Amino acid sequence: MIKGSTRKRTYRAIYRLLDRVSPVPFDCGLICGAACCIAAEQNEELGIFLLPGEDKIHERDADWLSWGKLSTDEYEFPPSWHGDVFFVRCKTPPHCPREMRPIQCRSFPLAPHLTPDGELMLIYNDSDLPYCCPMIEDETELDPDFVQATYTVWKHLIRDPLIYEMVKMQSDNREEDG
Ligand code: SF4
Ligand code: SF4
């Protein structure tokens, strides 16, 4: 299993920081039927990949998650990523213990992006998603505290070379696609 340099206590601190913020001051799931959580029920390929070491703060026998692995050889990961990564799926979406949501959920609808000059910025998530997120579609103005906390978290996370390379690879792909 792939191992990054981000420690368990760092993930704990990140989760605590992000526990205090939300993208918008209302339950956005009410406007779309929680599309981002529910979509995985109909599509086995959808799930949440955990960042290197993020699994350390999750219980393997938690009743709300099922655990799987993705081989970094079979999917598009940076060349420095060797082995498997954890790929989890929620058993009862959109219900989950809020304080245990993975970073992938907590960052949405934003995503980290590195400019060609190496500057970190946040953009609306532009992954090819099989559902529509109204917040991305409308580029809804997000709570500044959420944006600031998410930026701070990613600024810290990319100190981990593996995470940096993942963000860099995704950013370079975007720049190439124009
Ligand atoms: S993040 Fe987007 S898709 Fe997910 S619940 Fe909110 S509005 Fe819906
Ligand atoms: S962990 Fe929670 S927020 Fe994330 S997909 Fe599962 S149900 Fe949705």
The CA 28 to ligand 2 mean position distance, Å, reads: 13
Gap between the Cα atoms of 139 and 149, Å rounded: 19
Residue 58 has what DSSP assignment? Answer: S
Q: Which ligand is nearest to the CA of 99?
A: 2
SS3 letters across 63-89: CCEEEEEEECCCCCCCCCCCCEEEEEE
pLDDT, tens digit only, all 178 positions of the chain: 888 999 999 999 999 999 999 999 999 999 999 999 999 888 878 899 999 999 999 999 999 999 999 999 888 899 999 999 999 999 999 999 999 999 999 999 999 999 999 999 999 999 989 899 999 999 999 999 999 999 999 999 999 999 999 999 999 999 888 7
* Mutate which of 132, 133, 140 for ligand 1 pocket (most atoms within 8 A of beta carbon): 133
CA distance 135 to 46: 19
* Residue 134 CA, closest ligand 1 atom number: 7
Which is the closest atom of ligand 1 to the Cα of 37?
4
Count CA atoms closer than 13 A to 30's CA, side-chain side.
4
Ligand nearest to the CA of 28: 1
Residue bearing the CA closest to ligand 1, atom 2: 133
pLDDT in tens, 79-94: 999 999 999 999 999 9
Which residue is listed with tokens 């190439």? Answer: 176
Helices (H) and strands (E) in the chain, counts: 7, 5
- Report the pocket of ligand 2 as residue ranges, CB < 6 Å: 37, 90, 93-94, 96, 101, 105
| CA within 13 Å, CB half, 35 | 14
Which protein residue has the closest C-alpha to ligand 2 atom 5?
37
Q: How far is the CA of 108 from the centre of ligand 1 (A)?
A: 8
User: Within the chain, what is the greatest distance between any pair of CA atoms?
Assistant: 44
Q: Please report how many Cα atoms fall inside a 13 Å half-sphere around the Cα of residue 80, on the Cβ side.
A: 13
pLDDT tens readout for residues 46-75: 899 999 999 999 999 999 999 999 999 888
Q: Is 29 in the pocket of ligand 1 (CB under 6 A)?
A: yes
